[in-house]
Every structure is written in C-alpha cells, then in structure tokens.
Structure 1
Amino acid sequence: MEQKKFMNISRIKEDTELTVANTGGFHVGDHIVIQEKVDGSNSAIAYDKETNKLVAFSRRQTLDYNNTLNGFWNWVQTLAVEPFSKYPNYVFFMEWLTKHTIKYIPEAYGKSYFYDVYNKKNECYLPQSEVKRLADELNLRYVQTFYDGEFISWEHCMSFMHKSDIAVNIPEGIVVKNQTELNNPNSRTPFVLKIVNSQFSEIKKDNHRQKVENPQKLAAKAKASEIVEQIVTKNRVQKELYKMIDEGILPQKIEPQDMRIVAQNLPKRIFEDCVKEEKELVVEAGEFFGKMCGSATMNWAKKIIFGE
C-alpha cells in the first residue's frame, strides 16, 4: 500500500533582514485552530480494502511485527477494522508518544495523539472540525486543542505556548492551522505553522547576532562558523537521531559500532533539514556551510550518544 508523505510543518519566521516572513497566509479574521505540538514519533493509519486490514506507518516506512515503531504497530492491531473501512481513501495522522526530548507525565506515553486526515482521492486535508468528528467516531485521542476561532495576532497565538495537560514542565510548542486557507492551491505560503518554545528551538537564539555577523566586518569563514553554531544545535541533531531510530536506521541503543551508520546518514540529513528550515542562513553561510555543518553534526552526535 502506497504511503502518503507526512506534511512538513515550517517553523514561523519573523520578517528580518536575514529571513523572509512565511506568515503571509494568515490574515486577521481567518479561521484558525491552535493545537499542542506533541513531541512523539510521526505515525499514521490507513485502511487497506484489498486485505481488509489496517496498515500502520512511521514517517518513512510501512510497519510490521518486526518494525513496530516502539509499539505503535502493536497498538494498531488492537483497533477494530470495521469503523475505518468506511474511509478507504483516508490517511489518519498522529503522534505516537515515546520518550524523545520533551518530558511528559508517565500515563501519556504509549498513546497516539490524532491531529490530521488526508483524503487521497481528493488530494486534500480535511478541516479540523471533520478531524475532530472522526476522532469521536473512531474513538481516537484528539490532540489537545487550545483555540478554534478567528486569527487575532501572532502574539495571541503565542499565549498558548506553555499550555499542556501532559507535559511535565514546558511543552514543545504549538501548531497553528489556517482553516480558511486550507488546501488553497494558489497560496505560496504555508497554511500550517509551528512555534517552538525557546528551550527546545532547533535554532540557537542570539540577540547580538546581527552585530556579530555583519558581513562587512567579518571574513566569510567566521560568518559561516557563527551560522553553523546557531542552527546546527544539540536539539536539531538529537531530534534527527530520534527520527533515525524511529525509521529503523539505528537501533534503540546506539553502540560505538553504529557510528559508521551515523556518519553515513546524519550529516546529510542535518544539512537537508537546515536547507529546508533555515535556507536563508545556509545561503548566507555560503561555500563553507557544508563542511562545517558535517563537522558540527558529528561533534554533537558523539556528545549525545557517548555523553562526552
């Protein structure tokens, strides 16, 4: 069964000299939904009418009894198939909560948090009102929703960033979904954006960054090194390592002999993630970014894995 790719949710970008705002798809009065960003493993379910079974997916793989995504596949086997058979064209997206970066209450783990549905036939995402209805019908745990109403301002959205019923301390952040612009084929800006709390941001904050990075005063290598330090962070590298574990590329417990696999895969993945999320900064760093990114990635990987 062909797998539907997961949506890449962009981090909100402010309009500065170095970045172009990606918030142009949100306007005052638009209908938005604000939900908790759960730090789990990307997972999905789809009904296969050929086999009359539920198929479980991780971000990049079809799961089975040998590759369960920390028990997600096992949980799917406990679900009744018949209710899902009414929706053969739907893909149900959720987060399977296992231990990643954010610490949650014990009873929150080993559960799925349902947040989106994609209609393969119509090639569109369903509105959140329909997602919530399906959650109730199929007895799925709907991700915590803080607000459902008109877009007021980004400051208003950010007022929900520290709310959570399951995070022990500070949650990862929020996801803001524009229902007015949902599936708009003419929009060049995202209709879904994430805002991550600074403690878990994948880009290092530096209030003096523009002054330090002034290209008229610094050599190209120094500028590139500063950018790499800001965006190739421990959180970014750690998150990608978790993804590699979820995808079965790395074992749950990484041993020294696995560093070859890490070296073969991780630098390229971090580079691609930086290009996707921080393209303007990567371009600004220029020809030195690739090599410096790879070196910084492996340095963080060794510290994370071996506690150096």
Structure 2
Amino acid sequence: MEKKYTKVIEFSKDEVTNEFKEGERIVVQEKLDGANASFMRDGNTIRAFSRLTELNEEDNLEGFYQFSQTLNPEELVNGFVYFGEFLTERKVEYPEQHQKKFFLFDIYNPRLQRYLPFRDVKREAERLGLSLVPVFYEGEYVDKNHLQSFVGLTKMGAKVGDKENTGEGVVVKHAEGKTQSQKFVKLLGEGFKEVKKYKRKSKPLTPEQLFAEEVITEARVEKHLFNLIDQGVLDKNYKEEEFGKILKLLNPVVLEDAIEEEGNMLPKDYDEKKLSKAVARKVSKFTKEFVK
C-alpha cells in the first residue's frame, strides 16, 4: 500500500479539542458509511486499494477495482493518491443510485507529504467527473456546538434502521490541506460512537473490565466486522455456524484498535490477559447479535 489514509479522531479526545482555532477556515463533510478506498496513477496504469491492501481483479472490494480501471490514467496526476468512500451494504442505507459508487474526499501529494487544499480536491472532482462527499459547511471555524449542529444530517437520503434522512456524523478538516501535525476530526451520532460512559452498578469492575465496557461498543465491533468483509477475509453472507471463526478474526483486531485509540484510559500496570478476556467477552456479545 502506497499511502494509508490518516486516522480520523473523535472530537471528544483531548488531543484534538483545540485542533481548530476561531476564524480558521475549515470544511465539514458528511461522514459516509462505506468502504475506505483509493486509487493512484503509476505510470500508465491505475493501482487501487482498500483500507489495508492493494486490490486486483479477484480481490476487488465489491467492484471498486473494476471502477478504478474505467478511469483514464492520463487524466490523473501521477503519484497522487485519490481517497474516497465506496458505498457498499452497511449499517447506513443509501438510495440505490448511490450504491457501488465512489465519492472522493481527499487527495494526497506524496512529494510534499500533505493533503491538498479542499478547493483543489473540488476542482479535481469536477475535472475528472467524480462525485464529491457532500459538504455541509465551508468557512471559518466557530465552535464545537456549531459543528455538532450538522451531526445527523444527510444530503444522501441516508437511513439508519427506521430513521429516515439520518446520517452517521461529520468529518471536519482544515480547508487549506493537512500538514503532518494537523488532525482529521469526526463527530458521530449516538448509534455510531465507539466509546460510551459505563453506568456504574453495584458490583465494582476491574480496570480491564471497565475499559472493555466503555470502549468495546457495538459500533466498534461492527466497524471491524465490515472491515473483514472489505478485506475479503470474510464473506458478506456469513452464516451463524461461522460464529467461532468470526470471533477468532475479530478479537485481535478489535483489541488492537481499542488500545491504539483509547489506551490512555487504561492504567499503566493493566493485566494483558484480563484485558484480552474482558474484550473477548464484549466482542462475543455483540457478534452474537450480528450473526443471528
């Protein structure tokens, strides 16, 4: 993989609460619930990628590879990585006209090692005839409440369960492009949050159990289940009898992701075995619901 997309961090985390300064230009886009995908020109060919792996005719991310091969290499900037969301069947339902469609949201310049300003991304989308991830706001940063006002909105006709016209959340970026030190930020609707405050009960929990209760949420487990499907490791039409296999695949990636994103919630002397056991119990609980 030439370039993996930068991790998008929830706005509630301390490391990003001061990411934007009042008056700084930002862009707020709808967070789409699809597969992270990218392509790049390499000489006279186009290479395509899922979130973690390079794609080919067989391992094609439900047709994204084939879509990428319809593009004209000569129209792409050699070496630039075009990132976007390829809509596949997930938690959020989109109208039929958006299914198996690519929506551009960023372009990375490897020579400068930074993402392009958003105005350039828009120009490239128009020039290439690509759809752009919908924009809710482009202008000066106001405050968190202003950002929060866009959460739950959709310009895609999205549906979550029986809730019509409801989106997953928003992604907020610096409009002038991202440097190495800057962050991408997301604000999510309640059903998509990957950390939830534990409501204390009579029996006290160990630090490892408390971490699992707050961090191993349905949204986090479901995200990784879809990632396994995107990577071709798991068939999207998985069966209930594959429960054991799915758990073996999910447990290590969910644990790794939880520690990477929320490890500061653990004490320095936490017990790895106890943590692994607590996480596995929560993963099992949510996975049972998914495979029914």
Query: Structure 2 length as normaliser, TM-score?
Result: 0.89
How far 1:83 moved relative to its partner?
A: 0.8
1:121 and 1:110 map into 2 onto residues whose CA distance is 31
Tell me which of 42, 45, 52 is aligned to 1:53: 45
Matching residue's letter, 1:300: F
Task: Please give the secondary structure, in 2, of the residue aligned with 1:162.
Answer: coil
How far 1:259 moved relative to its partner?
A: 4.1
Show structure 1 runs of 4+ deviating over 6 A.
none
Task: Please give the secondary structure, in 2, of the residue aligned with 1:203.
Answer: coil
* Aligned twin of 1:281: 265
* Aligned twin of 1:302: 288
1:14-53 deviations in Å (ceiling 9; x for gaps):
5xxxxx352222111111110000010010010110xx12
Contact 1:113-1:141 at 8 Å conserved across structures? yes
* Aligned twin of 1:34: 28
* Aligned twin of 1:251: 235
1:100 aligns with 2:105: no
Structural mapping, 1:1-308, within 5 Å: 2-13=1-12, 20-49=14-43, 52-84=44-76, 87-166=77-156, 167-168=158-159, 169=164, 170-179=166-175, 182-183=178-179, 185=180, 187=181, 190-205=182-197, 209=199, 212=200, 219-221=204-206, 223-255=207-239, 258-283=242-267, 286-287=270-271, 288-305=274-291, 307=292
1:107 and 1:26 map into 2 onto residues whose CA distance is 35
Question: How many correspondences in the alignment?
Answer: 284
1:285 and 1:13 map into 2 onto residues whose CA distance is 25
CA RMSD of aligned residues (A): 2.2
Matching residue's letter, 2:46: L
How far 1:99 moved relative to its partner?
A: 1.0
How far 1:234 moved relative to its partner?
A: 1.7
Residues 108 and 284 of structure 1, relative CA distance in 2, 3 Å threshold: farther
2:205 and 2:62 map into 1 onto residues whose CA distance is 44
1:191 and 1:115 map into 2 onto residues whose CA distance is 15
How far 1:285 moved relative to its partner?
A: 9.7
Task: Please give the secondary structure, in 2, of the residue aligned with 1:245.
Answer: helix
Contact 2:9-2:183 at 8 Å conserved across structures? no
How far 1:182 moved relative to its partner?
A: 2.5
1:55 and 1:131 map into 2 onto residues whose CA distance is 19
1:65-114 deviations in Å (ceiling 9; x for gaps):
11110111121222223211xx1120000100011111222222111110
Contact 1:224-1:284 at 8 Å conserved across structures? no
2:147 and 2:10 map into 1 onto residues whose CA distance is 14
1:154 and 1:180 map into 2 onto residues whose CA distance is 20
1:216-264 deviations in Å (ceiling 9; x for gaps):
x97452x543432222122211110100110111122223564454233
Matching residue's letter, 1:7: T
How far 1:11 moved relative to its partner?
A: 1.1
Q: 164-173 or 282-291, which moves further after superposition?
A: 282-291
Task: Please give the secondary structure, in 2, of the residue aligned with 1:25.
Answer: coil
1:181 and 1:165 map into 2 onto residues whose CA distance is 23
* Structure 2 spans left out of the alignment, 5+ residues: none
Contact 1:271-1:293 at 8 Å conserved across structures? yes
1:152 and 1:180 map into 2 onto residues whose CA distance is 17
1:73 and 1:180 map into 2 onto residues whose CA distance is 30
How far 1:147 moved relative to its partner?
A: 0.9
Contact 1:37-1:175 at 8 Å conserved across structures? yes
Q: 160-169 or 114-123, which moves further after superposition?
A: 160-169
Task: Please give the secondary structure, in 1, of the residue aligned with 2:85.
Answer: strand
1:183-211 deviations in Å (ceiling 9; x for gaps):
0x4x4xx43100011122122355xx4xx
Q: 90-99 or 254-263, which moves further after superposition?
A: 254-263
Matching residue's letter, 2:139: G
